[in-house]
A and B are shown apart, each in its own frame.
Chain A
Amino acid sequence: MNLLDHRPGTSPVHRAPLGVKYAVLLVLTVVLVAWRQPVVVGVVLTGVFGLYLLARLPGEFLAPWRRGWPLLAFAGVARFASGVFGPVPLSPLDALGPALVVLAAVFGALAAARLLVITTGGTELLDGLAHFFGAFRRFGVNPEAAALAVNVMLRTIPWVGAAVRAHAEALASRGLRRGPVRLMGPVLVATVGHARATGEALAARGLPAAPDTEDPAPRADYTRGA
């Protein structure tokens, strides 16, 4: 299963209004980013795990770590390096603490954000986003288009993962060793191709609907003609 796939359920977390979910996510993330004390991060992490328990998905808590640990480890290493080589050089032992805290904070924020996505159905997410982007209508934003763009982006992440696997297999089948440099070019080209195809598919379905054309006028017009 993919990292961001919807896990249907009937727990209080699943049933909570989307606005509440976003508010909780915002609070948790702000605390994690702004208040990087080991105790605070520990408490918030425990809270996030509690929410996973409440959603009856405790096994999912560590999934972002299993799938994305190189990225998280990189954040930790970067913080460690900036501690050791920074303007106020710390001993490696002293730099280790803040690095672990950053790692834990990023993981906590990721896990919380993921919980929101996997406990909310795609349609509800889309409606929520459209509602949110509605606030920017006066700045020329088409809420439906903006919401659809976010949704298509989320859906494309597993596709890119599949493209990486497919290209790695293609390389292996020709006896070539897979490596990030060899993979990057073809995967990038394939992704651009997929983006074009998706755009075409959306256009073919008349999506996103132009703003303020909620009335399917062509229908009435057609019955007159037939």
Chain B
Amino acid sequence: MTSHRLPTGGRLDRSRRVEFSFDGKQLAGHPGDTLASALLANGQRLMARSFKYHRPRGVVTAGSAEPNALMTIGREGRTEPNTRATMVELYQGLEAHSQNRWPSLDHDIGALNGLLSRFLGAGFYYKTFMWPASFWEKVYEPIIRRAAGLGRATTLQDPDRYEKTWAHCDLLVIGAGAAGLAAALTAARAGASVVLADEGMELGGGLLSDPAAWPQLTEILAELATLNVRLLPRTTVFGWYDGNVFGAVERVQKHLAAPSPDAPVERLWRIAARQAVLATGAEERPQVFAGNDIPGIMTASATASYLHRQAVAPGQRTTILTQGPAGFALAAQMEALGLEVAALVSLGDGPSWQGKAPLIRGIPGKAIGGKSLKALQIEGGARIEADAIAMSGGFSPVIHLACHRGTRPVWSDARQAFLAPVEQEGLLIAGAAAGLSGHAACLGDGAARATAALARIGLRATPAFGPAPEDTIAQPPLGALGKTKGKKFVDYQNDVHARDLILAAAEGYADAELAKRYTTSGMATDQGKLGNINAAAILAKARGTTIAEVGLTTFRPFYTPVSFGALAGTSRGHDFQPVRRSPLHGWAESLGAEFVETGLWYRSAWFPRAGETGWRQSVDREVLTVRRAAGLCDVSTLGKIEIFGADAAEFLNRIYSNGFAKLPVGRARYGLMLREDGFIYDDGTTSRLGEDHFYMTTTTALAAGVMTHLEFCAQALWPDLDVRLASATDQWAQMAVAGPMARQILQRIVDTDLSNEAFPFMAAREVPLKCGITGRLFRISFSGELAYELAVPAGYGEAVAAAIMTAGAPEGICAYGSEALAVLRIEKGHVTHAEINGTVVPADLGMGKMVSTVKPDFIGKHLLDREGLTDPARPQLVGVVPLDPAMPLRTGSHVLAKGAEATLENDQGYLTSSAHSPHLGHSIALALVAGGSQRHGEEVVVWDGLNDAAIPARLTSPVFIDPKNEKLHA
């Protein structure tokens, strides 16, 4: 038996037993255990295998920096790979599995890699696996990929919920150790709103490892509970962002055996803090010596944590290795608990030692053991039999968050550590994170920093604790490497050892960032929390320079890894994006419509009827019905904008390329809107309903974009114009009624004369409906038929649509969807964003005449004359028909001159839209073809290499029906 539970002590509830399993083995612990402490209590020190050499590994920390003890926990959709056993609270039924081993943790074939390690040094893969070239994807890469990675992710859906929230506070305190508690208490007593977050399951930080401090801790927590402090245990603040917003993730139900479906398992916090105190403590550094990764070796602070919090001893005989006083304190505590300390090995002079264990001045040479530690060889000295080592290589303040926004850490010779500036805008650093040591000093510093933080925002506070002297610690320099051979691990998880770094430096990758990238040191899941400082020391030595000169690699979010689930929150599955439904959605549904996603909208695409076997059959029927009788189509998704003001006409005159100033009241006009670079932005009809009132329609796709554009023009460009804008897209249900019978059908609904004389093509007026409401009627046509668009207040839409359908029943009116609408408009040669794709100018579409030559200014006027925009070889809109009527034309096919080889050089353009025209009985298409307006009648090839098709076709006018517009004016 090595590691084991002590008979007394700890912050455990020994009255309750918590059963769990590891690799199928049934074990038990108590509430208050982490998975790591429970495994240690059960004597299970071998917990994992390393990345590259598959070396046996045990736990080396008791916190979030743990590089070794990563496990897969949970099952099915809750499977979580690479979970740090040190951060998992034990719960009933927890299933944990070791990773990266085969066939088992005890017997892992991958460990053979260790025998080849002299050939597998840093970056070996950059120098080999190149021959033959084709072998990379087929042979080498699959082997490397299978070997790489640690845990295996599930491919199943996660059954749990997540949520996100905001918090605003005067002071955010990050870390609830001595400094953080003092800061929170100071601020809360002063009446500030405080958020106190800590990654641990219990608030207290380092105080939890010191039983003498427990009464004081209890007292502070009790007082905080009465004040305006939001206490967030199990909450990791992972990033510091602009505007003093912090990202944090709360593990709401990760510690529960059966998470409630009514609450999230994790909650993402964005905490907007007026000020923050960073009290994240310090990370103890491992020592770098041969075999420093053997299970049984952990940091001194981890040892203390397991001893005091969970009453777990790391072994029977512990050797303590220390640079500085930390190991001395631990040795004394262990001896006080009656545990055997085999030796206290100190690099430097440390404090005086009166304990039982022999004090040895020296450095570790080599740890001996395989899956469990057996002994330690002192460099040039004795061999000490021991089954556990507690090591302390000094402390690195946890300054990650303070460096997330570009601040670089600065080396302090006095502290032998990299420090971040203690005072930054919005953030102060307190306690061990600022390099201090000792509870009293940290309490005093936390209180002082909180007082200073509140003073910045005009709040007065009295420090809850007075200043106290630091524990006297002369920080020894970072340890020299011993001469004993063997792998001295720096980055445990990625198996980067000292020699890798020395070789990388020799190969020219001596810069800290290059060494990281070349050796992968610091790239594992712990992001170098333990190893980076040792790597910097080794690189400094290899380069013959100082550690200050080498520096650290950049600290970036996240402090510890954050789940996709927490970051995504509720935006998942069908709730990924909101759904927009037209006011006529229910009407369409009642007619059995098939819907299609169009942006956020669901649009009715077609209306299948009994006996119809495919969408084409329904669409063909709808098209023919419209051409022959009449149809009703929901066009409510079009953008609609009300424009008011004395200068509204002038405003539109500057917005559109064609003239709008003289549009008479009661008339609609089709308009082209350009971007300032001359290319078409959007099109649509705008009607003048009054002298200073216009109603604009935009395309569905750009409804929001056009509104934003108009607002920009009105507010930023021409604030002197009297114009007001209101988006009315959701206020109106709008329906197109099209077909030769449209007038007679509508006349039954509309209480005004619709005769050609009274309501001619492009008429636009408010009209009374016979049902008693007022609508807006526009005689405009997208289909090329005699057609109207009728807008009614959204709430009346379904009733009006139903009434029109009833009124048109004698003529056989049908509902038609967006598919039939597309066929109708292609037959008529009308364009949509398939043609207006951001790269066409009006002349390309045969709309050159819609560019006013008389207006002094409009958006897009000034760059329209550039040679590239007037080049006669530009693609221009044409129609395309197949020579063989049986051949289908596909959108996205390209156009080649007849007989030309299929090369990019011979590419003449492409099909922008295509449809089967039931009217013509064959496929038709619109295309943008080089110089196309001059090429009507030319035989070409429609080339669709993706479908191995090359279809002989002819270029035509883009208008396939009613070229003289007789139907429109009928």
Do A and B pair up? The answer is: no
| Residue positions of A touching B, CB distance < 8 A | none
| Residue positions of B touching A, CB distance < 8 A | none
